[in-house]
Amino acid sequence: MRSGRGGKIYGIDFEVTKKDMNVEPTVEEEVPTPDDVELDDLIDKVMDIIDEKIKISQAKALLKVANYDINKIEYAYELACKQENIRNLIGWMTSAIQNGYEDNPIHKVKGQAPEETVEFDEYMEQMRLEHFANMEKESE
């Protein structure tokens, strides 16, 4: 709202309308949390998997993110070991579990396109198979 010669603003009117919210809440599948004894065993397993010293709260956080699946934590740790310069190991592993990081080795050869390196890898695999087949024939 404005008034006067300069059009000085002296107030604002808001009109608020409420939407009809008839949205059904989504039911997320809950993973059953283990009891205290099982949780302690899982925490011990996580601490055994990870070579670095971590806190119990960090192990619990990893377990919760991984839905108490030790295999996910073990795979994330294997990926972390292959990486360089990870400043926050638990944070990286949490992100790896949540985002489903996968181990995709990258073969780079200087001066060649990625397609050429894939063809080269396939060629080398074929040569290895032929070599082993020839060795088996010679040994018979």
- pLDDT tens by residue, 103-120: 876 655 566 666 666 777
Model confidence pLDDT, tens digit, residues 34-73: 888 899 999 999 999 998 999 999 999 999 999 999 999 9
Compute the C-alpha angle 26/28/31, nearest 5°: 170
Mean per-residue pLDDT over the chain, rounded: 82
Residue 11: pLDDT band by 50, 70, 90 thresholds? confident
Domain ranges within the chain, ordered by starting residue: 36-99, 106-140
pLDDT (average), residues 122-126 = 84
Confidence check: pLDDT of 75 > 80: yes
pLDDT of residue 113: 63
27 — pLDDT class (breaks 50, 70, 90):
low
Closest CA to 60 of 45, 75, 74: 45
Structure tokens at 49: 């998997």
For the chain, how long is the longest CA-to-CA vector?
A: 108
**What is the pLDDT, as a whole number, of residue 45?**
93
Whether the Cβ atoms of residue 108 and residue 83 lie closer than 8 Å to each other: no
For residues 25 and 57, the answer to whether their CB atoms sit within 8 Å is no
Task: Name the nearest CA neighbour of 32 among 58, 68, 59.
Answer: 68
CA distance 104 to 101: 9
d(CA 83, CA 90): 13
The whole model's pTM is what? 0.55
